[in-house]
Amino acid sequence: MAWLQRELRQWQEEGVVDALLAERIAGRYAAGRGMALGRLALGLGATFVGIGLIWLVATNLDQLSPLTRIVGVTAVWLSAVVIAEVLAHRSALATAAARLIAALAAGAVVFQAAQSLQVPAYTPSLLGVWAAGVLAYTYATSGVGPLIVAIVTGTGWYAWYVGERTGDPALIAASLVLAAAVGTAIAALHESRWRRPFARPWRQVGALLALVGLFLVALPSTDRPQSIPLLLWVGIAAAGLIGGLALALGDRQGRHEVLAIGAVTAATLSLLAWSPVDPGQSGLTAMQLIHAVVATAVYVLTAAWFAAVSALHDDPHLMTLSTGALVVFVTVQSFAIFAPLLSGAALFLVLGVVFLATGGLVIRGRRRLMAPTSEV
């Protein structure tokens, strides 16, 4: 309501509406704090129930037989699925809570089945199975809550799998940025074609993976990879295929976002190929310093772009992610690279200039994106 009141005051100052019309517009809306609190309580309750069920399975209840445990968690999972569909046409909030419980309970079923089959719990394949199952359930029911569970578990599986298979920070960084390109392209397809509520989670995970991947690339300790494994080629092919579909089928803004993440991916791979080999001496070489400065500039531009996109789509979570990632990155880079070269006062001056420039880029990018088509 505070936002609406500010907009109405601005419209009156601009002569768009008069006082009487502004009052009538404001009277049509009421603050929905009760609904927001109810949604929060249901979401937290569903999350706690699901996590508690997984925790219960993870503690390995010795007093119950494996058959009893698997039947019990499966019954809870199926009950949540059935309840969600029964409530589908009665209460949207209750349906969302039941679907979230079903998505989390699916993890308990996967881990309990793995325990019964003597499969090691500390393996990324279990997260992958959980994510794949929940993703299928998500698109069958159009539930945003299960989609978030699927994205979180799928991202955890992917990062774990890549780290376990490669062990190379450079390859991990490249894989994360390629996954970011896939997530952004999927978001663009959802935004323009079908199931628009699904676009926001995919866009957010794309931004997160891109910023984490670029963070690793910019670290002075990250050397260029010695070879390109099959996993990376698969990621390049997937990003190219889904990105091409988004360019062909997406709307104008979606194509801009896909082209931007494509540029970020190309810059990341170029920075990795250019990474100077550490000669083993103390301090940074001139080439390492130049690489760090260029990587910092790419990261700042990327974070500013995501902040502008968050303004365009009215996504405060993406704005918070972009701003927080930028603050952490600039702080780490400053103390890792520029601190040995600058005094304390000069370091803070440089940081201040960087943050001022970043803020200007964010504001300029937002205005550019929000401008009417005729002005762009």
For residue 33, the model assigns a pLDDT of 46
For residue 373, the model assigns a pLDDT of 42
For residue 210, the model assigns a pLDDT of 92
- Give the ranges where the chain is alpha helix by DSSP (H): 2-14, 19-27, 33-58, 66-86, 92-116, 124-141, 144-166, 169-192, 199-218, 230-249, 252-274, 286-312, 316-333, 344-370
Rounded to whole angstroms, how far apart are CA atoms 313 and 257? Answer: 12
Domain extents in the chain: 41-166
- Quick: pLDDT tens for 277-300: 555 555 566 777 787 778 888 888
Residue 73: which of 95, 93, 49, 94 has the closest Cα?
Answer: 49
Cβ-proximal residues to 73 (8 Å cutoff; 6+ apart), any chain: 53, 57, 105, 108, 109, 112
Asked whether the beta carbons of 80 and 149 are under 8 A apart, the reply is no
Q: What is the pTM of this model?
A: 0.72
Structural tokens at position 242: 């889904």
Rounded to whole angstroms, how far apart are CA atoms 20 and 147? Answer: 44
For residue 253, the model assigns a pLDDT of 85
For residue 225, the model assigns a pLDDT of 65
Q: Which amino acid is at 207?
A: A
**Among all chains, which residue has been given the structure tokens 């159009």?**
142
Asked whether the beta carbons of 222 and 216 are under 8 A apart, the reply is yes
Structural tokens at position 240: 């190219």
- Quick: pLDDT tens for 59-117: 655 566 777 778 878 888 888 888 888 887 777 777 888 888 888 888 888 888 887 77
For residue 375, the model assigns a pLDDT of 42
For residue 36, the model assigns a pLDDT of 53
For residue 359, the model assigns a pLDDT of 62
For residue 91, the model assigns a pLDDT of 73
Stretches in the chain below the pLDDT threshold 50: 32-35, 372-376
Asked whether the beta carbons of 260 and 305 are under 8 A apart, the reply is yes
- Residue 272 region by backbone torsions, left for phi larger than 0, else alpha for psi between -120 and 50, else beta: alpha
